[in-house]
Amino acid sequence: MRNNSILVVSVAALTILSTVGIVYAQEEVVNRSALAWGLFYKMMTAAFIVGAIVQGTLVYIIFKFKEKKVKARAEISSSR
Amino acid sequence: MVIEVARPRPLWQILFSTHHTDVALLYLITSIVFFMLGGALALTIRTELLTPGTTIIGDADLFNRIFTVHGTTMLFLWILPFISGVGNYLIPILVKYKDMAYPRLNAVAYWMAVPGAALIWLGWSDTSWMAYPPYSTMRAAGPAADMWIFGLKILGLSSILGAINFIVTILKCKHPDLPMMKTSLLVWAILVSSLMTLAALPTFTAALIMLYTDRLGVSGFFDPARGGDPIAYQHLFWFTFHPEVYIFLIPAVGMAYELIPKFSRKPIFSYGSGVIAFLVLSIIAFASWAHHMLATGLTFTEKTVFMIGTLAAVPMSAMHVFNWLATMWGGRIKFAAPMKFVIGGIMLFFTSGAGGVVNTTLPLDFITHDTYWVVGHFHMMLMGTVSFIFMGFLYYMFPLITGRMYSERLANVHFWFTFIGTAVVFTAMHIVGLYGMPRRIWDYVPDPTIIVLNQIASVGAYLIGIGMIAFIILLIRDSVKGKPADMKDPFGIGEIYYDYRRREPHH
Amino acid sequence: MVELVISMGSHVIYEWIYVGVVVSILIWVGAEAWYGEKLLHEVPKDHITIKVVGQQWFWTFEHPDGKREVGTLHLKAGKVYKFEVTGKDVIHAFNIPHFAVMIDAVPGRINTIWVKIPEDAVGEYLIQCREYCGLLHYNMRANLIVEA
Ligand code: HEM
Ligand SMILES: [Cu+2]
Ligand SMILES: [Cu+2]
């Protein structure tokens, strides 16, 4: 639980900081396509990082835990 | 048609039966047939878009009818009947009851789907699967549009009857010695999605009647000239169909939960979190419908609320992925066809989920809404995840249904062509959407990038087509000639299989 | 509920940490999106209003001085424009991909969207319909000409 609150707080802080940054940089009328695409690239960066972690884990699991590699542990069973 | 080794029965016995495995078989065969027919339409669409201008479809009218029937078929004649088929086969087995609660109602629900399907395929409406008024009420040609409305009406009622049957079977007919918390997560999935069907579907069935009376000219619910509002329809429609997309997804998630522990030879990492994610999602799913309407002129507050509602549903999907990965972690995984399709499905699930988050991120809707990006998003979900898990599950049920084993080699061909094809088509669609290509168009701007991306997408579609041909050959050949399966443990994973003797009717 | 929590076992703490991470990322996404949308929502004071009407299957534009154009729209670089968009028969969507302008043209409603055309944007751009509207939807395009 403590880990969570640290995370939430730090992300919130980052958000506020970047928001404040944008507000003070704001003098002209916003350029809508620049804003939308800027946001899009930000989202893509986040998505690709998270995606790399998720897909990477999955690929790791596929190779690490395939049947041939773990013959020795035949006692595992799925019954709950 | 002989599809059972042990006790072949004539077709008419299956057709007129109310036994749950027989109705289930009818559902499954119907859904697979429509999957192939819908797929043929998809290949036609992709071929038309291979080059700018006319490629094979002479005019836009036919093209519009084709994508309408394609979409309607895939959602209502492939995904929904497949879920009913699997549910009918397995729910009575998994809750240890002799049949569904109302066997006759069950058969009625199946047979209602037949005229529903006929109306859609004989009518060839051009309304698009969303049938937004005023186009659908004032301009769309009859009798096609009217037949579409009635077809969906019947399919909707059939869904509701099916949902009631599942809910009663699970809650009232479950064996007293089997606590709910010890049932398979597939049982939870079917229960939750059936409850959602009851809550979500009536809105759309009402909207269909309003569409029809508007078409007749006796009402003006959606006609501004008579005090109506076309946007009201969209609220009614998406109030049903946003939850409905989760009604498509949740059973697939349940099937993945059924397969992953077995093929990893490990218990589910956290059964409880699976249940929690189902229950919470079933409620939150009702808080995001207007994310399909962000461009209709909603207020800033409305947009914010529905964005938050949409984002709030994402952690539940993330919990399932975690649960799956954690279940596989440290296991001893057997990569038979069912597991391959499930893992492929999980890979594409992340992509489509991330695409969905981008859709709802407010200013990005200006870029993505109603472009091919959205088409890429939901196909990645419905083909890449839902249909993949369905196909995997069909392989798992193959011995139960036919008493025979399928050929792993051909299944492998099926998997790889379909997986690569799916990744290619729908990624290309996302990108061409970013270049501004609208969806539902017969012809596009002959810009070199857009042309190339469309051609990549079409090639991907042909790869899927090859995979599907392998699938059809496998299904037909191996249900007739496959080796008899070891019915105790057909996949050699040290697991007890479903009791195949259930196929024999109790009367 | 108690049953549920117990059934989750003790190693489930990892799952909650993970959910925490996911939720944090989503909060960040939501905040960024909300802020961006807010900036785009408020129409700047000095703007020129253009009335846009979509009908099967062409666009009509009306300038403040009453001048009308069909199928072509002339705008000036460096100016802020507000579009008041409506549909005559069925729903269309007014879309200029290059400037990320996109709003539905709905019969019986007037939707607004604004854009500042950058100083250096002189040239020709595509205007298209992005909501399915029947037979010639694919070809419901217009020309945007930005002049110095
Ligand atoms: C991570 C979860 C998801 C999010 C955040 C999400 C978000 C969205 C959003 C915002 C749209 C509207 C896009 C637009 O028109 O501009 C959309 C469209 C769509 N989504 Fe999702 N979605 C998610 C998961 C799913 C799932 C699980 C399914 C189905 C199984 C699905 C099926 C669809 C469909 C069918 C459409 C398009 C409907 C149409 O316009 O024809 N989505 N999604
Ligand atoms: Cu939705
Ligand atoms: Cu249009």
Q: Whose alpha carbon is nearest atom 20 of ligand 1?
A: B378
**Residue C55 Cα distances to C36, C140, C141, angstroms:** 31, 9, 11
Lowest mean pLDDT among B1-15, B156-170, C117-131: B1-15
Average confidence (pLDDT) over B77-92? 96
Query: Residues of C with CB below 8 A from B444's CB?
Result: 138
- Tell me if A11 and C100 make a contact (CB, 8 A cut-off): no
Lowest mean pLDDT among B60-64, B320-324, B398-402: B398-402
What does the DSSP assignment read for B343-403? Answer: HHHHHHHHHHHHHHHHHHSGGGHHHHTTBHHHHHHHHIIIIIIIIHHHHHHHHHHHHHHHS
* B199 C-beta neighbours (distance < 10 Å), count: 16
Instruction: Encode B443-503 in three state secondary structure.
Output: CCCCCHHHHHHHHHHHHHHHHHHHHHHHHHHHHHHHHHHCCECCCCCCCCCCCCCCCHHHH
- Tell me if C104 and B296 make a contact (CB, 8 A cut-off): yes
How many helices (H) and strands (E) are present in chain B, helices listed first?
16, 0
Cα–Cα distance measured from residue B347 to residue B326, given in angstroms and rounded to the nearest whole number: 15
Q: How far is B485 from chain A (nearest CA, A)?
A: 21
pLDDT tens digit sequence for B226-242: 999 999 999 999 999 99
CB B251 within 8 A of CB B189: yes
- Residue B503's pLDDT band (cuts 50, 70, 90): low
Q: Whose alpha carbon is nearest atom 41 of ligand 1?
A: B130
Phi, psi of C126 (to 5 degrees): -90, 135
Please tell me the predicted confidence (pLDDT) of residue B39: 97
| C-alpha of B251 from chain center | 9
pLDDT tens digit sequence for C98-117: 999 999 999 999 999 999 99
C15 touches chain A (CB under 8 A): no
**What is the B130 CA–ligand 2 centroid distance (Å)?**
13
Helix (H) or strand (E) holding A24: helix A2-25
Of A3, A35, A46, the CB nearest to C39: A35
pLDDT tens digit sequence for B429-478: 999 999 999 999 999 999 999 999 999 999 999 999 999 999 999 999 99
pLDDT tens digit sequence for A14-28: 666 666 555 555 557
Q: Whose alpha carbon is nearest atom 21 of ligand 1?
A: B356
Please tell me the predicted confidence (pLDDT) of residue A28: 75
Name the nearest CA neighbour of C129 among C100, C99, C92, C98. C92
pLDDT tens digit sequence for C53-109: 999 999 999 999 999 999 999 999 999 999 999 999 999 999 999 999 999 999 999
Tokens found for residue C132: 């399915």
- Residue B495's pLDDT band (cuts 50, 70, 90): confident
Nearest-atom number in ligand 1 for the CA of B375 is: 37
Of C21, C44, C99, the CB nearest to A7: C21
CB B106 within 8 A of CB B23: yes
- Tell me if A8 and C39 make a contact (CB, 8 A cut-off): no
Query: Residues of C with CB below 8 A from B52's CB?
Result: none
With a cut of 50, say whether residue A1 has pLDDT above it: no
Lowest mean pLDDT among A17-26, B56-65, B299-308, C76-85: A17-26
Residue to substitute from A30, A32, A53, A65, interface B, most B β-carbons within 10 A: A65
Cα–Cα distance measured from residue A78 to residue B152, given in angstroms and rounded to the nearest whole number: 41
Tokens 């939707």, residue? C111
Q: B58-91: buried (b, 16+ CB within 10 Å) or exposed (e) per residue? A: eebbebbbbbbbbbbbbbbbbbbbbbbbbbbbbb
Please tell me the predicted confidence (pLDDT) of residue A17: 60
Q: How far is B114 from chain A (nearest CA, A)?
A: 39
Average pLDDT taken over every residue of chain B: 93
* Pairing of the two strands C141-147 and C72-76: parallel
DSSP category for residue B135: I
Of B230, B311, B318, the CB nearest to C108: B230
Structural domain range at position A73: 2-79
- Chains near C, with 3+ CB pairs < 8 A? A, B
Pick the CATH number of C48-147 from 3.30.565.10, 2.40.30.10, 2.60.40.420, 2.40.50.140: 2.60.40.420
Can you give the pTM of this predicted structure? Answer: 0.92
Domains and CATH numbers, chain B: 2-481 (1.20.210.10)
pLDDT tens digit sequence for C41-56: 888 989 999 999 999 9
With a cut of 80, say whether residue B84 has pLDDT above it: yes
Cα–Cα distance measured from residue B381 to residue B346, given in angstroms and rounded to the nearest whole number: 10
- Tell me if C17 and A3 make a contact (CB, 8 A cut-off): yes
- Chains near B, with 3+ CB pairs < 8 A? A, C
Tokens found for residue B120: 């859609």
Residue to substitute from B265, B342, B489, interface A, most A β-carbons within 10 A: B265
Ligand 1: residue of B76, B248, B378, B426 to mutate (most ligand atoms within 8 A of CB) is B378
pLDDT tens digit sequence for B135-180: 999 999 889 999 999 999 999 999 999 999 999 999 999 999 999 9
- Tell me if A8 and C25 make a contact (CB, 8 A cut-off): no
Ligand 1: residue of B359, B380, B387, B434 to mutate (most ligand atoms within 8 A of CB) is B359
Ligand 1 neighbours, Cβ below 6 Å, are B 130, 245, 248-249, 291-292, 310, 314, 317, 353, 356-357, 359-360, 365, 368-369, 374, 377-378, 381-382, 386
SS3 B122: helix
CB C85 within 8 A of CB C104: yes
With a cut of 90, say whether residue A35 has pLDDT above it: yes
With a cut of 50, say whether residue B282 has pLDDT above it: yes
Tokens found for residue B291: 């994310």
Please give the residue that has the higher pLDDT: either B272 or A28: B272
Phi, psi of A66 (to 5 degrees): -75, 155
With a cut of 80, say whether residue B220 has pLDDT above it: yes
**What is the total residue count of chain A?**
80
Please give the residue that has the higher pLDDT: either B62 or C10: B62
**Residue B348 Cα distances to A62, B43, B83, B323, B427, angstroms:** 15, 21, 20, 16, 10
Count of domains observed in chain A:
1
Query: Residues of A with CB below 8 A from C27's CB?
Result: 8, 11-12, 15
Of C24, C27, C40, the CB nearest to A32: C40
Please tell me the predicted confidence (pLDDT) of residue A66: 85
